Amino acid sequence: MTEPAEPARTAGPARRGRGRRPADEVRADVLGAAGALLLDKGMGAFTIEAVAERAGASKTTIYKWWPSKGALALDGYFHAVESALAFPDTGDLEADLTAQLRSFVRVLTGTPAGRVIAELIGQAQTDPDLAAALSQRYSGPRRELAVRRMRRAREQGELRADVDPEVLVDQLWGACYHRLLLPGPPVTEEFATSLVGNLMRGVRA
Amino acid sequence: MTEPAEPARTAGPARRGRGRRPADEVRADVLGAAGALLLDKGMGAFTIEAVAERAGASKTTIYKWWPSKGALALDGYFHAVESALAFPDTGDLEADLTAQLRSFVRVLTGTPAGRVIAELIGQAQTDPDLAAALSQRYSGPRRELAVRRMRRAREQGELRADVDPEVLVDQLWGACYHRLLLPGPPVTEEFATSLVGNLMRGVRA
């Protein structure tokens, strides 16, 4: 087994012997391999061994950075969807939210990502370590990105001052997760557009 | 083991021998026992045996009506929360939705029901039979009750004609499930009130 070692994560210059790569590079390779494996094969085939093989890294290396398979899966998932789920800021909140949510829906329904994250969330309900990893490595950071975009909109006078962006996260992305996790009508791009329209304008006759 | 038999579910008069109870009564007892056991002990202690013992019914009887433990748990759960989660209709949609969602939040957070339904939803992500039972016995019927109340409001001119009540379900109850299933800010009655207010009035400045 070829096993490229990586420099220790302590301060100081990295040793660059034969077969040694900078830690950041190994880390990026592992994340890329984890994300690709998840989206190719789903959680059923996701093992530390398979990620190590795909990344050309050792299991020891992976365990040094990720305490569990679930933590690695969630980091890999975040890494894989990050660019598709960026938050645009054109100065038009409704257009930006609609575009981002439609991309989110495409990721959930047009790739295996929807089943992968549904399984991870599902397993987290009875696995406290996975629940903590889900919060720290996925849902927390994603929520923070969304809240940041909406706070800017509030500062720019696009949202009422008394509206809590945290609640909007649940009424937009949370609504999509609801249809993903509890069987219901399909998750479509039109659904995403309605979510934003309902909230921005209100539904009262 | 005392094992009260129950009349066959075919047409015709029920035989009322010693120890025989009408099928409807046995069925109600089983549902009551299932719901009570779930809310007392959670899914970890939930077995067909334990429900049979609590209800004074036989396992055979239970299996005749419920194909699996998950199906019985979901029916028992629905039965246990049904009265707390009724949909009032006072003719004021915002007040009625707020009251219902605040009750829902109290059920989710003030009883073990939140953990129970979270575990059932979680397990359903990798168990197709449980997913089907969840849809048929819980989320489908609950969604239908909510949609019916909102359709009436639309007919009475409280909701815009172009608003889809199905989407509102995801932006109200779905938002609560989102906080329940994906770690985030706490589920509170104030949160429930904000959900309704945001949607009814809109959030645009």
CATH number for the domain including B59? 1.10.10.60
Query: Does the residue A14 lie in any domain?
Result: yes
With a cut of 80, say whether residue B180 has pLDDT above it: yes
**Is A86 in the same domain as A61?**
no
Please check whether residues B46 and B133 belong to one and the same domain: no
B161 to chain A, closest Cα gap in Å: 7
Q: Considering only CB atoms, which chain A residues are within 8 Å of B175? A: 167, 170-171, 174-175, 178
Interface of B with A in 163-192 (CB under 8 A): 163-164, 166-171, 173-179, 181-185, 191
Interface test with A, best of B145, B149, B167, B180 (most A CBs within 10 A): B167
Burial class (CB in 10 A: 0-12, 13-18, 19+), B96: buried
The three state secondary structure string of B48-108 is: HHHHHHHHCCCHHHHHHHCCCHHHHHHHHHHHHHCCCCCCCCCCCHHHHHHHHHHHHHHHH
pLDDT for B18: 54
A7 with A39, same domain?
A: yes
> Residue B178: which residues within 8 A CB-CB, separation 6 or more?
A170, A173, A174, A175, A177, A178, B184
> What single string gives the DSSP state of each residue in chain B?
--------SSSSPPP--TT---HHHHHHHHHHHHHHHHHHH-GGG--HHHHHHHHT--HHHHHHH-SSHHHHHHHHHHHHHTTTT----SS-HHHHHHHHHHHHHHHHHHSTHHHHHHHHHHHHTS-HHHHHHHIIIIIHHHHHHHHHHHHHHHHTTSB-TT--HHHHHHHHHHHHHHHHHS--S---HHHHHHHHHHHHH--B-
Q: Is residue B14 in a domain?
A: no
Q: What does the alpha-carbon distance between residue B2 and residue A77 come to, in Å, rounded to a whole number?
A: 53
The residue segments making up the domain with residue A126 are 82-201
Q: In the numeric block, which tokens belong to residue B132? A: 């089907």
A51 and A104 in a single domain? The answer is: no
Which residues, given as ranges, of chain A have pLDDT below 70? 1-19
* Mean pLDDT value across residues B145-156: 96
pLDDT score, position B54 = 96
Task: For residues B148 and B196, state if they share a domain.
Answer: yes
Say yes or no: A147 contacts chain B, CB-CB below 8 A: no
- Chain B from 73 to 132: CB within 8 A of any A CB: 94, 118-119, 121-126, 131
* Residue B199 scores a pLDDT above 90: yes
Residue A75 lies in a domain: no
Counting the structural domains of chain B, the total is 2
The pLDDT assigned to B45 comes to 87
Q: Which residue in chain B is spatially nearest to A195 when comparing CA positions?
A: B167
Token code pair at residue A51:
């990620």
Do the Cβ atoms of A51 and A63 come closer than 8 Å? no
A74 occurs within a structural domain: no
Q: Are residues A57 and A86 in the same domain?
A: no
| Nearest C-alpha in A relative to B154 | A205
Question: Which pLDDT value is given to residue B8?
Answer: 44
Residues B127 and B181 reside in one and the same domain: yes
Q: Are B202 and A200 in contact (CB under 8 A)?
A: yes
Evaluate if residue B4 carries a pLDDT over 60: no
Q: A195, B119: Cβ pair inside 8 Å? A: no
Cα B91 from chain centroid?
Answer: 24
**Which residues of B fall within a CB distance of 8 Å from A185?**
166
| Residue at B141 is within a domain | yes
In a domain, B41, yes or no: yes
Q: What is the pLDDT of residue A7?
A: 43
- For A81-110, b where at least 16 C-beta lie within 10 A, e where not — what string? beeebebeeeeebbebbbbbbbbbbbbbbe
- Preferred mutation among A94, A96, A125 to probe B, highest tally of B CBs within 10 A: A125
Q: Which helix (H) or strand (E) holds A150?
A: helix A140-155
Among candidate residues B199, B177, B205, the one with its CA nearest the CA of residue A170? B177
B53, B78, B103: which is the final residue of a domain? Answer: B78
Q: Quick one: A189 and A89 in the same domain? A: yes
Task: For residue B128, count CB atoms less than 10 angstroms from its CB and return exposed for 0-12, middle for 13-18, buried for 19 or more.
Answer: exposed
Q: What is the pLDDT of residues B21-72, one digit of tens each?
A: 888 999 999 999 999 999 888 888 899 999 999 999 999 999 999 999 999 9
Asked if residue B48 lies in contact with residue B64, where contact means CB atoms within 8 angstroms, the answer is: no
Please indicate, yes or no, whether residues B68 and B127 belong to a single structural domain of this protein: no
User: Above pLDDT 70, what percent of chain A?
Assistant: 91
Residues A195 and A117 grouped into a single domain? yes
Give A-chain residues touching B173 at CB under 8 angstroms: 178
Q: So what's the pLDDT on residue A19?
A: 65
Among A42, A69, A96, residue at a domain's last position:
A69
Same domain, A92 and A54: no
The answer to whether A184 contacts B161, with C-beta atoms less than 8 Å apart, is: no
Q: What is the CATH number of the domain that holds A195?
A: 1.10.357.10
- Answer yes or no: is A76 within a domain: no
Q: Is there a contact between B122 and A122 if contact means CB atoms under 8 Å apart?
A: yes
Contact A171 B173 (CB under 8 A): no
Q: Is the pLDDT score of B14 beyond 60?
A: no
pLDDT of res. A18: 54
Q: To the nearest whole number, what is the mean pLDDT of chain B?
A: 89
What integer is the mean pLDDT of B182-202? 96
pLDDT confidence bin for B112, thresholds 50/70/90: confident
Tell me: the pLDDT tens digits for A104-139? 999 999 888 899 999 999 999 999 999 999 999 999
Determine, yes or no, domain membership for B15. no
Contacts of A37 (CB under 8 A, 6+ apart): A45, A46, A50, A51, A54, A76
Are A45 and A86 part of one and the same domain? no
Side chain identity at B145, as an amino acid letter? L
List the single best residue of B178, B190, B199 to mutate versus A (max A Cβ within 10 A): B178
